[in-house]
A = this chain, B = another copy of it.
Amino acid sequence: MLQKLTRPTLLLDAEKCRNNIRRMQQKAAAQKVIFRPHFKTHQSAAIAQWYAQGGTNKITVSSVSMARYFASHGWNDILVAFPLNLAEMHRFTRLAAEIRLSVVVENIEAVRALATASIRTTGVYLKIDAGYHRTGVPVHDHALVQQLIHAIDKQPSLRFRGFVVHNGHTYHTSHPQQVIDIHRHSVEALNKLRQAVSAQSDEMLISVGDTPSMSLVEDFKGVDEIRPGNFVFYDVMQQQIGACSYHDIAVALACPVVAIHKQRNEITLYGGAIHLSKESINNADGTPFYGKIVSLTGNGWSSPWPDSYVKALSQEHGIVRTTPEMISQISIGDFIGILPIHSCLTTHLMRDMITTAGQAITTMQSSK
């Protein structure tokens, strides 16, 4: 594998990835919740097949373009989990004629747009804000939720399916118990909401999504559907939250070493913001870091180097801060690996992957 590398390349450990998928599928089955994984992390029809082999047949995506891509690869039960973009209504309408489509709304304007679009039967979820405050109807605003459900119920083409929530504030926690608490409070509030409102349809699913909760919570009581995405690869952010171990991280960016600066224990890599994204986490001293460093091996990569991290990124440069011991083992022209902070963004930027066994994996972003 290493012999073939010439540029920054996203490596995928297929075994780790398939284990991550299998573990979450088994958890969903054991907890008797619908498994509707988010595919925005990998964006790949090839990786989607690994889910299909474990029985997954419902998916979540974040755009109508992504829904179109996976529909063209045979997926026919797709939730577009992003507040409806009215300017793309014609694309939603075309897609609804072909597959079992569900969309997300959070305001009356979106319901009205669906009502006038002559769309074929479409599932509609309400986006609920259970504390993250990014977007959605506040979970305590039962009156607004009831009003939106009534507006949906009035349309023969629309079928109310339930509530989607994304507790993104689990990403800002410092202890696994905080993740579990956020999940529990959110599920309690959602169940109160469900009891308080009425709908024509019997179905009123509570659908939750973030990878930290889905990884750390063991009891999915009060939940009907889960939509985690990032767990397929995990990343350093998830490791820091406690949602995975370093060993579970399934992608690493292989980068050529182009300069070594021993006097300050730094290595310059060809691998920058256009490969990794500028997502960062703060070190204990408050300075940001942009990835952890691993050695590449014949069939994968090592544990993270001690006391080593990407300290800065510009467009194509990555600057690694490391130790005299590690730097003494590195030469110009070597390749080393970076475990990304946020694998979703890195995968989106890289567009293509290669497995540690040398198999090319394309995504919907690939130029081919």
Given known A85-B270, A270-B85, A344-B315, contact A110–B278 (CB-CB < 8 A): no
Question: Contact between A259 and B7 (Cβ–Cβ < 8 Å)?
Answer: no
A352 contacts the other chain (CB 8 A): no
- Give Cα distance in the complex from A278 to B88, angstroms: 25
Q: Is A98 an interface residue (CB 8 A)?
A: no
Chain A at the B interface: mostly helix, strand, loop or mixed? mixed
Partner of A86, one of B256, B348, B367: B256
Out of B6, B312, B316, which one reaches A88, CB within 8 Å? B6
Does A349 touch B at the CB level, under 8 Å?
A: yes
In A2-37, which residues have CB < 8 Å from any B CB? 5-7
Given A107-B260, A110-B332 in contact, is the A316-B82 Cβ separation under 8 Å?
yes
Count residues of A near B (Cβ-Cβ below 8 Å): 54
A253 within 8 A of B: no
Residues of B within 8 A of A278 (CB): 277-279, 345
Per-residue 0/1 for A292-313: is the Cβ within 8 Å of any B Cβ (1 yes, 0 no)?
0000000000000000000010
The answer to whether A109 and B277 have CB atoms under 8 Å apart is no
Evaluate contact between A87 and B333: CB separation under 8 angstroms.
yes
Q: List chain B residues, Cβ under 8 A from A133.
A: 264
A268 CB-CB contact with B under 8 Å: yes
Q: A82 contacts B134, CB within 8 Å?
A: no
Contacts of A135 in B (CB 8 A): 258-259, 261, 268, 317, 319
Pair B345/A274 contact, Cβ less than 8 Å: yes
Q: List 26 interface pairs A-B (beta carbons < 8 Å), by A numbering.
A: A6-B87, A6-B88, A40-B315, A62-B315, A82-B258, A82-B270, A83-B258, A83-B268, A85-B258, A86-B258, A86-B332, A86-B333, A87-B256, A106-B259, A107-B259, A107-B260, A107-B332, A109-B331, A134-B317, A134-B319, A135-B259, A273-B277, A274-B345, A274-B348, A315-B344, A315-B348
